[in-house]
Chains A and B, each alone.
Chain A
Amino acid sequence: GNSVTQMEGPVTLSEEAFLTINCTYTATGYPSLFWYVQYPGEGLQLLLKATKADDKGSNKGFEATYRKETTSFHLEKGSVQVSDSAVYFCALSHSGGYQKVTFGTGTKLQVIP
């Protein structure tokens, strides 16, 4: 079946450091790929998405490229801030029919001043 694998956290970085959170997936067909962010005590918010191979999603300085050849959708940011501290979830949607979404287990990011 479909699955999403994320790197385990927590990831601890100093402010202004470069961020990479790895995400790989297994899916049939051509899924859409998403990154969601969850701040403490809140629900998830969409950070960015890509709907086809080689698409790049970007938002708030974060980027991720849909790589079909490596089945990956790694999240990157050039310079993190303390306010980026949150849990990040990679997710994919199943193509065709009902819109089921499979989420990864989440990666907690801690940014220290």
Chain B
Amino acid sequence: DGGITQSPKYLFRKEGQNVTLSCEQNLNHDAMYWYRQDPGQGLRLIYYSQIVNDFQKGDIAEGYSVSREKKESFPLTVTSAQKNPTAFYLCASSIDQTGRTDTQYFGPGTRLTVL
């Protein structure tokens, strides 16, 4: 079955450590996204990528980094510069249609807790 996988489901990190969250899709989608979800808030966009080897900052990119070396993969690194990284992280993908947004398909999420 096609879909998006994220790993791990739960992640614990000590303060000062970098950590990388995995996101893989086999939907053959061009565009991929990372969102952060906090209790009582909507989803906030961290980074997005419309094509391999290209990505753009979203609304809250500070303290995060990404890469897009393959179409299927869009890992997110939460660096020690991120002041409040404890949150639920969601990866999504969509078909890239210029001028029109299609449905975004979401992974199951990774819950990151900083100890």
Contacts and interface: CB of A to CB of B under 8 A. Distances in A.
B24 to A, nearest CB: 14
B17 interface: no
A44 interface: yes
A49 B103 contact: yes
B67 to A, nearest CB: 19
The number of chain B residues touching the other chain, given as a range, is 20 to 34
A98 B90 contact: no
Interface residues of A, number: 26
B42 interface: yes
A108 B99 CA distance: 32
Interface string A83-113: 0000001000111111111011110000000
B100 A95 contact: yes
A42 B106 CA distance: 9
Given A96-B99, A99-B101, A43 B41 contact: no
B85 interface: no
B108 A97 contact: no
B113 interface: no
B43 A98 contact: no
A89 B43 contact: yes
Nearest to A104: B42
Given A32-B101, A43-B107, A44-B90, A98 B56 contact: yes
B42 A89 contact: yes
B106 A44 contact: yes
Interface of A: 4, 32, 34, 36, 41-46, 49, 51, 89, 93-101, 103-106
Interface of B: 4, 6, 31, 40-43, 45, 48, 50, 56, 58, 90, 92, 94, 96-109
5 contacts: A32-B100, A34-B103, A43-B6, A99-B97, A100-B58
